[in-house]
Amino acid sequence: MLPSGQVLVAGGFNRTTEAYEPRAGTWWRAANTLTTHRSHTATLLPDGRVLVAGGGRQSSTGVNAELYDEITARWSAAGIMLTTRFGHTATLLPDGRVLVTGGTDREFGGRTLSSAEVYDPGTDTWTATGSLGTARTHHTATLLPSGQVLVVGGDDRGIRSNTAELYDPSTGTWSSTAGMWASRTYHSATLLPSGQVLVVGGDPDGSNVSTELYDPESKTWSSTANMNVARRYHSATVLNDGRVLVVGGYHDSAGIHFSAELYDPATGTWSSTASMNAGRFQHTATLLPNGSLLVVGGAGNQDQSSAELYAPQAPVVLE
């Protein structure tokens, strides 16, 4: 979400960029990106610009990074990344820099990476930092209240991981922490208001209904209630009341999910809520200033161009 409250959607199968104006409920076209990005990341910087890093079609270099300026509605080239990456993570650090970790050097069949690099918006440069202890892609990276970054799960050439490690921005080094109960990839990791991290679903084959909590104070994991529906490629968003809304996803047997469910940290339980109008996975979900959730795009029975809103107060899904 941009500083104005509008939502920027960029990347995918082409260079087009759109923005959603929540007050009017309308979309408008912004300038195209300089290159095509897919399996990329998009990070809002403290100065209001958006950094899009890595990704691209199989034929592209994948090293391009670019910046979107809401004031001009234009893109400009950013410093070139040190390493070609797809399926990596990007995390805004407390000092305004961006930590990028792991991924692969090709979108399909590439080498899984353990390297990490940091982007400095002030100098428009990338610098290498300490490498992960485990090469991984399709993992998660969560900024903790301490300023450390928790990296969890992922896979290396199909071998799924339950390992977790912590990045310290002050030293640029990694340390191992307790591993999860289950190996996961294509899962979600959500920072709760309590400071704990809720990890949900993921592989193998999208059949994982289990969820678990990481406590940064004790550096331990504990199990919590299972979801109602097994899913991967879903989204998980903290609502204004502290509950977590998990939306969509995929299951190898059940297929594409329309369903959504809510996790209540106060009780450690899940409850079903209104289903989406369109089944989708690998979509985006953005919490709007009014407390509604905007769900956009993704894959479905066909690639989705639709968007829909979830209103927690109702709760209903509106097209």
Give the mean model confidence (pLDDT) for residues 93-106: 97
The overall average pLDDT reported for the chain is 92
**Cβ(236)–Cβ(227) below 8 Å:** no
pLDDT at 315 over 70: no
- What percent of the chain has a predicted confidence (pLDDT) above 90? 80
pLDDT at 59: 43
pLDDT tens-digit series, residues 199-218: 999 987 556 899 999 999 99
Residue closest to 295 by CA, chosen among 261, 270, 318 = 318
Read off the pLDDT band of 151 (50, 70, 90).
very high
Q: Does this model's pTM top 0.75? A: yes
Q: What is the pLDDT of residue 319?
A: 55
Per-residue pLDDT of 29-83, as tens digits, reads 999 999 888 889 999 999 999 999 998 754 455 568 999 999 999 999 999 999 9
Q: What is the pLDDT of residues 205-253, one digit of tens each?
A: 556 899 999 999 999 999 999 999 999 999 999 999 999 999 999 988 7
Tokens of 51: 């950094």
195/267 Cα distance (integer angstroms): 16
Bridge-based pairing state of the strands 211-215 and 197-200 = antiparallel
